[in-house]
Amino acid sequence: MKFLEKLINGQMRIMECHDALSGMIASQASFSLDDDYKEFDGLWISSLCDSLVRGRPDMEVVDISDRLQMIEKIKSVSSKDIIVDIDSGGNISQLFYTVKTLSERGINGIVIEDKIGIKFNSLYGKDNPQCQDTIENFRKKISIALKARINDDTVIIARIESLTLGKGIDDAVFRGIEYIEAGAEALLIHCITRQADDLFKVIEKIKRKYPSIPIVAVPTKFPEIEEEVLFDRGVNLVIYANHLLRAIIQPMEKVAVSILKNGRTSDVEHHLISINEVLNLIPKGIEV
């Protein structure tokens, strides 16, 4: 089934990964209870996580060629669908090259956000004022992205930043409709309020006009809202955008400090998986 069809059918969940190990863990994760079985439908590769693991700010400073190396490593350990976040995509020429290259690599979805200028992570909200692209220019970007892709199984997803930039519901709805009419095949409506009420209002208004358009949500700032609620409110795909990376930072800090403090590792061993478990994660080579 083509990826766009999967999106339209809805109720998908994907997990962030930032290297081959996290890609393998996310791909193998599953939950089963009675008749309820769940696994992640795909992987999310974001500029935030790609930047952080390289010790760089999330400001579009990691070159696409550098990111492609990691994408290939992740693809080598997983057959899951992959969506890649490319921020604004740069200028028109950069966008064309980036989309073409990712499409050639078999990437299933590409997210382009409607911001311009010096990029800061959207989770800063109004603390770092940023500029939103004009509708006319972003429509042009959508058109270029559609022309650049090598196959139509690479879905072009337009990310709307109106709610994070304080532009309001009406602006988000208007842009969403404009982007759909320009050819966007799905919308990611970014929201950083804890209740997500504005997000739900935007979805309702857009789906009133385009009921089959897939909607993507990133619940980083509203973690209490269960995915079933998001699905019921019109979301087709939920992205857990940074959780595996966030899961390892504090434990690594604690282990490092404990070893410095105590001069031994016995105090932290009970927090760690055994070295044998580590070795079992690694695929064994072919015996000859």
Catalytic residues: 58
For helices 92-104 and 64-75, give the axis angle rounded to 10 degrees.
20
Residue 262 CB partners (closer than 8 Å, separation 6+): none
By the 10 Å C-beta count (0-12 exposed, 13-18 middle, 19+ buried), 20 is classed as middle
Backbone angles phi, psi at 123, to 5 degrees: -70, -15
